[in-house]
Amino acid sequence: MNTEKIINPPSGYLTLVTFLILLTITAYCGVSQMPATAVILGLIDFILVLPGLIIVNPNEAKVLTLFGKYVGTVKEDGFFWVNPFTAKKKVSLKAFNLNGQQLKVNDAVGNPIEIAAVIVWQIKNTASAMFAVENYLQYVNIQSEAAVRHLANTFPYDHIEDESASITLRGGAEQVSVLLEKELNERLDRAGIEVLEARISHLAYAPEIAHTMLQRQQASAIISARRLIVEGAVGMVEMALNKLSEKDIVELDEERKAAMVSNLLVVLCGDRSVSPIVNTGTLYH
């Protein structure tokens, strides 16, 4: 792992003044018929003085190398002068936003799904970003795709697929985001990159099974609703029987209780309005 070395070079304004003075002397020597002196001063001015001037903008850095050896990184913004023979590479320290493409993968139970993630990252170690990997932008793209694929293969899409799952892609968005961010930081640490935020931006079943899964979800919702209705209806029937018994309104044998329970459950659990029938005879006819 490359260790970043922060350096603070001298200000470039004094060097700029020196450059202008030498340039003026060079011009004077040229006019005064002193070509040798003019050439020497000109070479010094344009080879040793001017190439060493650098400008570092806010949220940028300059990585310096001298004859293949890493010298250091200038992170402070401003106007500086460095060794004119160093190679200077600009590195942006701003936060990058990666909007990942939609990937078609299988979840933990084998269902094909579509998934994509939005990742916010920035460079924290300029030496690693420049020297540890060939192209840190391409490295981020490839490793991010690999991390999203691994995440999708680890968890099921929903609890419908695996009721015992503690975390699902659809229901555990916060936990999934934390795990994705952690894995990305582990993968991108080699390149000196820190992930600030990672979230799932798109999650859906693949088109070939989307309709079937929608029907399955609808059926599950209907079953859950019916279960709730039945539980409520049973409670209401029990309450009605208890009230009739407490108030001594009517005395029912077991057969008539069963008929009453059946009628009430039909009325309470039915999904359509019922048509009442008035019984003008006795309770048993």
Tens-place pLDDT, residues 217-230: 666 666 677 777 77
pLDDT at 91 over 90: yes
Q: What is the mean pLDDT of residues 243-255?
A: 68
Q: What is the mean pLDDT of the chain?
A: 84
Q: What is the mean pLDDT of residues 6-21?
A: 92
Alpha carbons 221 and 158: distance in angstroms, whole number: 13
List of residues 6+ apart from 112 with CB closer than 8 A: 104, 105, 106, 205, 206, 208, 209
Asked whether the beta carbons of 9 and 78 are under 8 A apart, the reply is: no
The model's pLDDT over 20-36, given as tens digits with 9 standing for 90+, comes to 999 999 898 888 878 88
Give the count of beta carbons closer than 10 Å to the beta carbon of residue 242: 10
pLDDT at 121 over 90: yes
Length of the chain: 285
User: Dihedrals φ, ψ of 172, to 5°?
Assistant: -110, 55
Residue with tokens 């909007």: 99
List of residues 6+ apart from 165 with CB closer than 8 A: 108, 155, 156, 159
The model's pLDDT over 48-80, given as tens digits with 9 standing for 90+, comes to 899 999 999 999 999 999 998 999 999 999 999
